[in-house]
Structure 1
Amino acid sequence: MSSENPPLEFLVISRGQWDADKSPEEIQATIDRFYEWHGELVAQGVMRSGKRLAREGKLVSRERIIDGPFAEAKEVVGGFWFIRANSLEEAARISADNPCLACGLEYEVRPFEHVRASAFAVTSETPGRAA
């Protein structure tokens, strides 16, 4: 990271499930490698810790509150953390070194908006228009 401009912060969302053909021992070895990789990046100030998400949850809409979350296996969100980088591309390159990619998980890397929401702006929540 360059010291000229302070790094930006990006949200990394862990998605998916472990490959069904991986043994518990293979998955555990990968998890152990992840924590080593993660710990090194936290110590370097490149990453901030996040959290794993519990299996249970609630889905809240204008109509009701129901048990959830509801998603296809490939869309399951397992956890999140934060990366400090100078660009989205750099944050994605850092995420590409995550050992868990080899066992089926994938990562969504998203920058934060630095402006307040507006009904007149095209955003990720605007229906029918790509942000």
Structure 2
Amino acid sequence: MKYMLLMQFSDQTGLPPIGTWPPEDVRAHIEFMRDVERKLVESGELVDAQGLAMPDQARIVRAGAGGSSVVTDGPFPETKEFLIGFWIVDVEAEERAIDLAAYVSAAPGPGGEPLNMPIEVRQVMSAPPEEL
């Protein structure tokens, strides 16, 4: 079963923005993330993994009248949290996806302390649920 592990950031988590960390802590964090990816590749569980640009570079696009499109900056200023990266994994059971999320949640932050960042775990659906 495929699951998406969504790494989110928000002011409410109390996590300091990575741009404020000492360079050696940023390197340790990035090395941890590379190690996670390497392990998932070796286990055959990795489908895809991507980091995302900061929200100030995001654009919200809506279809407009007459085939035009409306593009605005996004997410909106009132947004409390934003997606900073994700992994798609193909695992035997949800429990494994949860274990992976817990491992990633403990990525090192400033001073090497575990961040305990929230990781959302969602199954990737291949078709609509049967009951629909």
Same fold (TM over 0.5): yes
Count residues in correspondence: 110
- 2:107 aligned partner: 100
Whether 1:13 aligns to 2:12 is no
Q: Structure 1: 5+ residue runs without aligned partners? A: 1-7, 122-131
Whether 1:69 aligns to 2:75 is yes
2 CA distance for matches of 1:77 and 1:48?
18
Q: TM-score, normalised by structure 1?
A: 0.67
SS at match of 2:107: helix
2 CA distance for matches of 1:103 and 1:26?
12
Residues 63-85 of structure 1, C-alpha deviations (whole Å, 9 max, x = no match): 7431112322xx21011121111
- 1:114 aligned partner: 126
CA RMSD for the aligned pairs? 2.8
Q: TM-score, normalised by structure 2?
A: 0.66
Q: Structure 2: 5+ residue runs without aligned partners? A: 65-69, 109-113
2 CA distance for matches of 1:33 and 1:50?
14
Residue 62 of structure 1, CA deviation: 6.2
